[in-house]
Structure 1
């Protein structure tokens, strides 16, 4: 009787498992993604294991399909032939990179460009179709009665998404999702999966019909048995919201980006981030900046920072949060020392969450400042950022209404902070670096990450 009951329950469980919708079968959310922006696969292979030591779980590589032959970064986003791996390395180079990454427990995310093909001539009509193997003019959106001609320009403010889906991005020939196109693009996904790819970023996803993106994600999930982590580039505008696509997979959080840009720019107020305006999805890919927001490399940069160091501080905040999936540009990882610390902090918080620790994110009102933000991560850690040029220094800090209590160590500078409860029941910072001072002291333009340690650590430091 007991065996029959067990067999029945097992059978029901298997039916449920194999009939879950594609969006429910997802791999574990990354701790942090290193964006190896426009880097050769062979060069990435040399340092990928260092990323594992720093706390990264994933690395995102440049698009792998054969593309426009220009050496500019944007040419990698202009496909020519999905059947050939050629760009920042060969198929053999990519296979070796993936193998090296897997040795170090780093997973590899491929960038796929399925909305359009290359603009080789600079005009507003099709190229020589012999450059696009397997495709005909019927596989592209064209002007009515003029096959091969650009049909229209995109209007991001007309109250509907027709032009976003059917017009060309500039002069880039826009693909229809015919049976031929789907077959070719699914073959590209399969080729990458066979090479060992662990995730996909869908470029320009908001210009693709949601049902097509869903079909591709479902295909990936079936082929990988749900082991792949996917996300979609969805740049919000008047006509497109994250809700149009977040039901399929994680999306890029340009809503949070804009909120942070306002807060971290000179004259902005960090108190606006106590309840941040962001995409309502804890999986969303978050960033202080990415390659689409940098004026120096993109003439159409999206809401760029005037001072890049403001974006570094925003990245520090992104890494401190419990919510979101941080995407860290390779340049920024190299240029701001606290970003490396933030990645390690995030890794430790993930480990402590798995161990049952309280790591809930909460921006605290204990510091009431437009230029300083203090965030607790439950009682397992806390984060502070000072965007002002000058030092922030207060002699006393009351943390009674927080979860922070005990001994904490700052990861980069390796000093300890003690938070103790007094006889009146209130909690104060009684030690900030040395036993001779309490309160808080943070240098200008800096970010600090603290993790909880055994109380003995503060006694040893004394």
Structure 2
């Protein structure tokens, strides 16, 4: 087993500057570029609405991100822990992240920057507070009583295992009719409940949102989600959270009729390969590994849940290896990728940087907020993904171990060397047109110039380069020097 590589001093001396360098905020363009062909999602986890708006204008739009995913916007229980945002008490658009007016401004500003907005949407349940209380915006509530919205008749009481809690994930009925960690479970088979949920989602659509991430989808039958979707006022992008469990009766594949589904195996398998196996195994990554079909798979190296499961996935704490894993995800033609952007946390429950009243503070990148989406490698590989969208995989190379390379046919090329030693004096066949290309792993391309190394592809489609240990080179037609 290979050692787990964090950002060691030896590595830091070599590649930290290139792989972990944050990119500065760019000046927004005078006119917004259309985002229809730009599919990479930035998950700005727990950012407040003014900060999301600014990031859309000043970074996400100019850097080519097509979507921003924002955290749940509805009124929730009071407190600081991150998971309190997943305990709704009403469907009012007012939370510790901002007001309805600020949310509307954020959507408008993101659209003006060419960035579409996906909302993390909590519709499986309401709060998990036994004693009830007063929500963020002043609404009173009880565990099974939400005045003007839901009463006790609108919830499941499964009565198994001497209570309402899910204990057996091999029991389909229990998983979809009992409570997830005491969260009051809505009767999504009820037309009244479906209409209420659709009303909330239609309210968000009226504010201009473009899609929904449906939290805890596994705990609702796919048919219930389809019925709710049928009540929406217009079409919207749908991605569903369905965590794969080996041998469980409920699988992610049964939800693909409603839209995309998060492929949780992706990040875990990728972490295992980068930490202890061989990159050569990634040649048929995705469907070849039993993952969902590429056309419906939503991929990520980590998300807000998995980054808190110690050892399960790569996270910002893994430094350069995390940057390389994201580079692979953005280069390899499988699924629709989401880039995580998180805050620093010392314990699993810790909420976002907040004031004394638990109102989320404005984001200041690299000061409490990790902003992984700005890391040079990750941000520049978004441009690689955009330039190679729709191109196939070709010219795969591996040395049987930790050195791989492949083309996105006619559009881009990447080589990753995760060996503990440099690979020197090797030529790579790219299949790209002859010319000079910016290596976007180490340099920024703009206005026809490159701030880093330039790779020259000859008339036969080849280039020669030395690749240091735990490093990469990536080129694409969108970063070709004039």
Partner residue of 1:72 out of 75, 81, 93: 81
Is 1:232 aligned to residue 240 of structure 2?
A: yes
CA contact (8 A) 1:408 1:451 kept: no
Is 1:139 aligned to residue 162 of structure 2?
A: no
Is 1:379 aligned to residue 410 of structure 2?
A: yes
Give the corresponding residue for 2:431.
403
Partner residue of 1:244 out of 234, 245, 254: 254
CA contact (8 A) 1:289 1:311 kept: no
Separation of aligned partners in 1, 2:62 and 2:36: 19
Partner residue of 1:263 out of 270, 273, 278: 273
- Residue 237 of structure 1 and its aligned partner are, at CA, apart by 0.6
Is 1:415 aligned to residue 454 of structure 2?
A: yes
Give the corresponding residue for 1:348.
387
Partner residue of 2:39 out of 12, 31, 38: 31
Give the corresponding residue for 2:62.
53
Cα 1:260–1:453 shift into 2, 3 Å: closer
The gaps in structure 1 that reach 5 residues or longer are: 1-26, 354-358, 422-426, 430-437
Separation of aligned partners in 2, 1:217 and 1:30: 24
- Residue 81 of structure 1 and its aligned partner are, at CA, apart by 0.6
- Residue 302 of structure 1 and its aligned partner are, at CA, apart by 8.3
Once the two structures are superposed, what CA deviation does each residue of 1:190-234 show, in whole Å capped at 9, x if it has no partner? 1101101111110111111100111222333xx22x3x2111111
Greater C-alpha Rg: 1
Q: Counterpart of 1:294 in 2: which secondary structure?
A: helix
Is 1:171 aligned to residue 165 of structure 2?
A: no
Separation of aligned partners in 1, 2:378 and 2:278: 21
Cα 1:114–1:342 shift into 2, 3 Å: same
Cα 1:138–1:363 shift into 2, 3 Å: farther
Is 1:308 aligned to residue 318 of structure 2?
A: yes
Q: Counterpart of 1:82 in 2: which secondary structure?
A: coil
Q: Quick check: 201-210 or 314-323, which moved more?
A: 314-323
Is 1:339 aligned to residue 371 of structure 2?
A: no
Separation of aligned partners in 2, 1:169 and 1:344: 39
CA contact (8 A) 1:288 1:312 kept: no
Q: How many residues align?
A: 391
Cα 1:219–1:362 shift into 2, 3 Å: farther
- Residue 67 of structure 1 and its aligned partner are, at CA, apart by 0.8
Partner residue of 2:466 out of 441, 444, 448: 441
Once the two structures are superposed, what CA deviation does each residue of 1:284-326 show, in whole Å capped at 9, x if it has no partner? 211111111113xxxx568234862333322111111233111
Cα 1:144–1:451 shift into 2, 3 Å: closer
Q: Counterpart of 2:124 in 1: which secondary structure?
A: coil
Cα 1:195–1:302 shift into 2, 3 Å: farther
CA contact (8 A) 1:312 1:332 kept: no
Separation of aligned partners in 1, 2:395 and 2:167: 39
Bigger proportion of residues as helix: 1
Alignment of 1:181-330 (within 5 A): 181-220=193-232, 223-224=233-234, 226=235, 228-238=236-246, 239=248, 240-265=250-275, 267-276=276-285, 277=289, 278-295=291-308, 303-305=312-314, 308-309=318-319, 310-330=321-341
Whose RCO is larger (CA < 8 A, sep 6+)?
2
Cα 1:89–1:453 shift into 2, 3 Å: closer
CA contact (8 A) 1:109 1:201 kept: yes
The gaps in structure 2 that reach 5 residues or longer are: 1-34, 133-140, 342-369, 444-451
- Residue 128 of structure 1 and its aligned partner are, at CA, apart by 4.8
TM-score by length of 2: 0.74
Cα 1:132–1:264 shift into 2, 3 Å: farther
